[in-house]
Structure 1
Amino acid sequence: MRTSRPRHRLRPLAAALTGAAGTLGITLALVATGTLSVAQGRVGPGAQQLGDPDYGVCRGTDARCYHDWGNFDTSQGFKVLLYTRTAGPRHANLGPALAPGMNPALTDANVVQKSVVKMGADNGFQVDYTEDVSELASPADLFKYNAVVFYSTSRDTLDDAAQTSLRQYIRGGGGFVGVHNAFGTEYNWPWYEGLLGNANFYDHGRNQPGTVQTVNRKDVSTKSLPDRWTISDEWYNLVPAPTRVRVLAEVDESTLAEGVSGNYHHPGHGKDHPVTWCQYYDGGRAWLTTLGHDAKDFSTDGSFPGAAEFQKMLLGGIESAMGKKPFCK
């Protein structure tokens, strides 16, 4: 039950963002006293909920926290931006750092990028990818995409312009998918911590097999998964741990031979150690998972336990965050 109310209500930022000719031509109009927005001729109902005492935004599982301003035209299909820039440790499954610009050449070692592009091609959505922060400099750049995926980004991977763009994109009804070391990103930005579900990376033990429990079978990302399935990962400890989110999957800590941090189980999680969850946040949608450490998560030959389940879950998370499938059920 809510015990306090915010002193101030957030006001939508008045802005008009128009794409160049030949693009989607998206227009965002946020009017401080109204709810009218036009994009490609469609009028959305605007914001239903604005303020909240937690991170100063509306967040949680109430769909009224989503702000439908009508900013996304899907007549030409769905489109996702994959962002993998690292400003600190770099996971091996990302391969070598990418050249500047959008969609630079990939090597076989760029497993994440090649796999997500193929996932999109196999399932009817386009994937652009980049590690060039300047490609995120304008909200108009991001509004071309139905969802933005941060996959094992690290540390301060965004500059001031990109931070502002991401925030306005989410406020305009954008979708966000955070995978694995997205939790080791932008540590000193409270709004981003809220986007992750009031969660942040603290530490992890060695990479080891464990059993994932599917605790919610209604969501599109988990409905086809077994009740219990095994995969190897680093099993991130989170401080703070996610709150006011819809937990979709947890790790059964009793199945981890060496605990999650050395030889002990993390006291902050105990029997409830979430690995996947979703929420509405500041007008947008956010689907999160701490899984995704190993390049073998994208194998298709059945040699890596849990790979098929992880791929199904990630696909569902992306499709729901971008509005192609129902979100956070």
Structure 2
Amino acid sequence: MKSLIKSGLALVAAAALGAGMVVGGAALGNDKANPNGNGLGGQPATASQIYLDEIKDYGVCRGTDPSCYHEWGNGWQEGEAKRILIWSRTAGPRHAHLGSPLPLGLNPPLAANNVAQATLVAWAAERGIQADYTEDPSQFRLNNYQAVIFLSSNRDTLSDTEQTALMQYMRGGGGFIGIHNAFGAEYSWPYYEGLLGGANFFNHGPNRDGTVETINNRDVSTSGMPATWPFKDEWYNLTPYPSFVNVLLEVDKATSEATPAGHGESHPVSWCQYYDGGRSFLTTLGHDNAAWLGTLPGDGDAFFKQHVMEGIESAMGIKPFCTV
């Protein structure tokens, strides 16, 4: 069953906390309009209601409202080398698709079990993108890249210095991609929660087969996808629930096994947003090694590859971003 949320994008201009919000919206979806066009499935849309509902104001511009958003032009430009940085440092439990911790330095030798890092590097090369990778804090230097990918990097993976670097990078118009357990990172840093779309990891069920629903097929990351497709994952429950984002994919209710703190009828697994001057593309998908190795039954792994790589290129500024 299609969820009630449907795709929605609210353009939110947030000044300092308590200074108020400017909220607008556009109805999205491949078959029906969202009730209020804000990605909240009919939940409150006005500033006063938002505050009463405890949806956070992260003190930054979420959207492209001209009162707060400025395009600094730091995305990819024609004739420029295409470069991304993959950050997979973990400060807690480490997912199997990451394999062994990487040695220090930039682009150290990969082990056979560094599946996701090696796959992303190969997928990027197919598109003429140079993908550097590291888990070394001394190499967390973002200004030479059109996007940084947090690949299941979890817990307190950034120092104060690196947090500042990420904020400055986003404010300069950079691209951010969060994949799978990137939602388990930086719990005590509100800016990062906002970067994820106002969402955070709560829990998940066992890794299991499920059905992904294509909610917005207008975006490059979902273009041409069927209405539903099979995939296998842990199906994260999130709290807070993502707010004021362009929802791209959801998982059906029967698969999600939503908890009381979860999502009920609407369970997004991928979305995008403009955040603090930059572009942010998020997906909770990517747990199973087979998704990276291309060995899932059916076409789910192919759709996952399309979704991730088109999302990366859009966050880089190569292709249209977060189409409504």
Instruction: Indicate the TM-score class for this superposition, using the shorter chain for normalisation.
Output: 0.7 to 0.9
State the SS of the aligned residue for 2:120: helix
Alignment partner, residue 117 of structure 1: 121
Alignment partner, residue 281 of structure 2: 287
Q: Deviations over 1:124-160 (max 9, x none)?
A: 2110000011212xxxx31100000001011000011
| Distance (Å, rounded) in 2 between the aligned partners of 1:282 and 1:266 | 31
Q: Retained in 1: the 8 A contact 2:214–2:222?
A: yes
Judged with a 3 Å threshold, the aligned counterparts in structure 2 of structure 1 residues 274 and 118 are, in CA distance, closer, same or farther, namely same
Alignment partner, residue 97 of structure 1: 101
The RMSD of aligned alpha carbons is 2.3
2:87 corresponds, among 80, 83, 90, to 83
What aligned pairs does 1:6-17 form with structure 2 within 5 A after superposition? 6=16
State the SS of the aligned residue for 2:202: strand
| Distance (Å, rounded) in 1 between the aligned partners of 2:195 and 2:282 | 9
| Distance (Å, rounded) in 2 between the aligned partners of 1:270 and 1:286 | 25
What aligned pairs does 1:30-49 form with structure 2 within 5 A after superposition? none
State the SS of the aligned residue for 1:145: coil
Judged with a 3 Å threshold, the aligned counterparts in structure 2 of structure 1 residues 124 and 67 are, in CA distance, closer, same or farther, namely farther
| Distance (Å, rounded) in 1 between the aligned partners of 2:249 and 2:277 | 24
Judged with a 3 Å threshold, the aligned counterparts in structure 2 of structure 1 residues 303 and 158 are, in CA distance, closer, same or farther, namely same
Q: Retained in 2: the 8 A contact 1:61–1:245?
A: no
Q: Retained in 1: the 8 A contact 2:211–2:230?
A: yes
Q: Retained in 1: the 8 A contact 2:314–2:320?
A: yes
| Distance (Å, rounded) in 1 between the aligned partners of 2:86 and 2:275 | 20
After the TM superposition, which of the residue ranges 148-157 and 291-300 deviates more from structure 2? 291-300
Judged with a 3 Å threshold, the aligned counterparts in structure 2 of structure 1 residues 302 and 254 are, in CA distance, closer, same or farther, namely closer
Q: Retained in 2: the 8 A contact 1:246–1:279?
A: yes
Please tell me the residue identity of whatever aligns with 2:150.
Answer: F
Deviation at 1:306, TM superposition (A): 1.2
| Distance (Å, rounded) in 1 between the aligned partners of 2:274 and 2:13 | 20
| TM-score, with structure 1 as normaliser | 0.79
Please tell me the residue identity of whatever aligns with 2:107.
Answer: N
Alignment partner, residue 187 of structure 1: 187
> For the pair shown, which has the larger CA radius of gyration, 1 or 2?
1
Q: Retained in 2: the 8 A contact 1:134–1:162?
A: no
| Distance (Å, rounded) in 2 between the aligned partners of 1:225 and 1:61 | 27
Q: Does 1:149 align with 2:149?
A: yes
State the SS of the aligned residue for 2:216: coil
Q: Retained in 1: the 8 A contact 2:14–2:62?
A: no
| Distance (Å, rounded) in 2 between the aligned partners of 1:327 and 1:3 | 18
| TM-score, with structure 2 as normaliser | 0.80
What aligned pairs does 1:290-329 form with structure 2 within 5 A after superposition? 290-300=284-294, 303=297, 306-329=300-323
State the SS of the aligned residue for 1:59: coil
Please tell me the residue identity of whatever aligns with 1:313.
Answer: H
The count of residues paired between Structure 1 and Structure 2 equals: 276
Q: Retained in 1: the 8 A contact 2:211–2:231?
A: yes
| Distance (Å, rounded) in 2 between the aligned partners of 1:293 and 1:175 | 22
Alignment partner, residue 39 of structure 2: none
| Distance (Å, rounded) in 1 between the aligned partners of 2:319 and 2:70 | 17
Flag the structure with more relative contact order, 1 or 2, with Cα contacts below 8 A and sequence separation at least 6. Answer: 2
Deviation at 1:68, TM superposition (A): 2.2
Judged with a 3 Å threshold, the aligned counterparts in structure 2 of structure 1 residues 61 and 225 are, in CA distance, closer, same or farther, namely farther
Deviation at 1:253, TM superposition (A): 1.7
| Distance (Å, rounded) in 2 between the aligned partners of 1:108 and 1:161 | 32
Please tell me the residue identity of whatever aligns with 2:184.
Answer: G
| Distance (Å, rounded) in 1 between the aligned partners of 2:232 and 2:66 | 33
Identity rate, percent: 54
Please tell me the residue identity of whatever aligns with 2:190.
Answer: P
Judged with a 3 Å threshold, the aligned counterparts in structure 2 of structure 1 residues 299 and 166 are, in CA distance, closer, same or farther, namely same
Judged with a 3 Å threshold, the aligned counterparts in structure 2 of structure 1 residues 3 and 195 are, in CA distance, closer, same or farther, namely closer
| Distance (Å, rounded) in 2 between the aligned partners of 1:207 and 1:280 | 31
Judged with a 3 Å threshold, the aligned counterparts in structure 2 of structure 1 residues 266 and 241 are, in CA distance, closer, same or farther, namely same
| Distance (Å, rounded) in 1 between the aligned partners of 2:294 and 2:233 | 18
Judged with a 3 Å threshold, the aligned counterparts in structure 2 of structure 1 residues 311 and 62 are, in CA distance, closer, same or farther, namely farther
Please tell me the residue identity of whatever aligns with 1:57.
Answer: V
